[in-house]
Amino acid sequence: MDIGTVKFVRPQNEFLQKYIKGYYMHRSTDPAFEKTVYFYQNITSTINIYQDTQVKLHDNFWTYHHAPNTGFNARMVVKIKGYQEVKLRGKFDKVAIVFYPTGINHFIRCPLSELVHSIYSVFTHFDGIYDAILPALFAAPTIEQKRDILDNFFVSQFQAFPDERLLAAAEKIITSEQPIKVNELAESLGVSRRTLLRLFQKHLIYSVEEYQAIVKFRRALIELQQQGKAHLTSVAYNSAYYDQADFNHQFKHRSGLTPSELFDQLNIVDNTLFWNLK
């Protein structure tokens, strides 16, 4: 299947590897290129940077298409409701930075909630800061050269996120095999329920319950890929869904497909990116 040129690489800088999952490039030089990509909910955050590419919102999907001499623009993908459809039309050029959960909070100078206004928010936080590196970033011929440019930039932008309570809460949810009640989570951290809810909305853009639900969905998605659709019952059980009906309902709600359908249609690009391409 022709999906354009897609290459993924992890940071070479060991310090950044805790916060940034990786960088990837996705581009096409074919004016007749047409592909639709479906993305699914995740607790990672992504900054997409485009060159000479217009990103446009329609009623329920996005399009990318070539826009000569328009320069650079960036979008942030943090919170997807259900699944997101993107139609790629003609030439486009994108470089993306994928952050681990809470990773992006160590590189921005304000709460994440101040930067996110939609599913695909225009991202201007680094405007005037990374302008000098963008021409070299897109001119670099290899993903490794792009990686080195981005590594240097993000090392220069790092500042430790100050609220250890939020970091601990997110880590507890991600590493727990069973859902944690909000009151119990708050008590374990020594904060009130109200404070915990406020921290999540301010810095992660999710309620605690929704954050946990997405962690469960992504865990099930990974296990489904590992075990195959012949083991749906065990995947549902291991992922802490109530029963098979709940498992099917949640997958339908979050992907528009049943677990079996999603397994058949999902493409794992470069062993990292979970896309549904049509």
- List pLDDT tens digits, range 137-181: 999 999 999 999 999 999 999 999 999 999 999 999 999 988 899
Predicted local confidence at residue 81, as pLDDT: 77
Tell me which residue range forms the domain holding 208.
Answer: 164-259
On whether both 170 and 106 belong to a single domain, the answer is no
Q: State the Cα–Cα distance between residues 72 and 5, nearest whole angstrom.
A: 19
Q: Which residues contact 131 (CB under 8 A, 6 or more apart)?
A: 72
For residue 16, the one-letter residue type is: L
On whether both 56 and 115 belong to a single domain, the answer is yes
On whether both 255 and 152 belong to a single domain, the answer is no
Question: 51 in a domain, yes or no?
Answer: yes
On whether both 99 and 235 belong to a single domain, the answer is no
Q: Which of 45-54, 98-107, 113-122, 180-189 is predicted with the least confidence, judged by mean pLDDT? A: 113-122
3-class DSSP assignment, residue 250: helix
On whether both 13 and 56 belong to a single domain, the answer is yes
For residue 78, the one-letter residue type is: V
- 124 to each of 49, 76, 78, 121, 259, how far by Cα in Å? 11, 9, 15, 9, 37
On whether both 194 and 152 belong to a single domain, the answer is no
On whether both 50 and 79 belong to a single domain, the answer is yes
On whether both 57 and 106 belong to a single domain, the answer is yes
On whether both 45 and 130 belong to a single domain, the answer is yes
Q: Which of 17-21, 36-40, 231-235, 270-274 is predicted with the least confidence, judged by mean pLDDT? A: 270-274
On whether both 190 and 102 belong to a single domain, the answer is no
Question: 193 in a domain, yes or no?
Answer: yes
Q: Which of 26-30, 208-212, 266-270 is predicted with the least confidence, judged by mean pLDDT? A: 266-270
| H-helix segments, 158-266 | 164-175, 182-189, 193-203, 208-227, 232-238, 244-255, 259-265
Token pair for residue 263?
Answer: 């397994």
Question: 93 in a domain, yes or no?
Answer: yes
Question: 222 in a domain, yes or no?
Answer: yes
Give yes or no for a contact between 19 and 157, defined as CB atoms under 8 angstroms apart.
Answer: no
pLDDT band at 248, cuts 50/70/90?
A: very high
Question: 268 in a domain, yes or no?
Answer: no
Angle at 40 between CA 76 and CA 214, to 5 degrees: 95
Average pLDDT of the chain is 90
For residue 81, the one-letter residue type is: K
Token pair for residue 274?
Answer: 């979970």
Q: What CATH number has the domain bearing residue 237?
A: 1.10.10.60
Question: 64 in a domain, yes or no?
Answer: yes
Q: What CATH number has the domain bearing residue 147?
A: 2.60.120
**What pTM, to 2 d.p., does this model score?**
0.92
On whether both 22 and 37 belong to a single domain, the answer is yes
pLDDT above 70 for 278: no
Q: Where are the beta strands (DSSP E) in the chain?
A: 5-9, 20-28, 34-40, 45-51, 53-57, 62-66, 72-77, 83-89, 92-99, 120-122, 266-269, 273-277
Q: State the Cα–Cα distance between residues 148 and 145, nearest whole angstrom.
A: 5
Predicted local confidence at residue 1, as pLDDT: 47
* Total of domains in the chain: 2
Question: 276 in a domain, yes or no?
Answer: no
pLDDT above 90 for 51: yes
Which helix H or strand E contains 245, and what residues bound it? Answer: helix 244-255
On whether both 192 and 70 belong to a single domain, the answer is no
Question: 142 in a domain, yes or no?
Answer: yes
DSSP annotation of 256 reads S
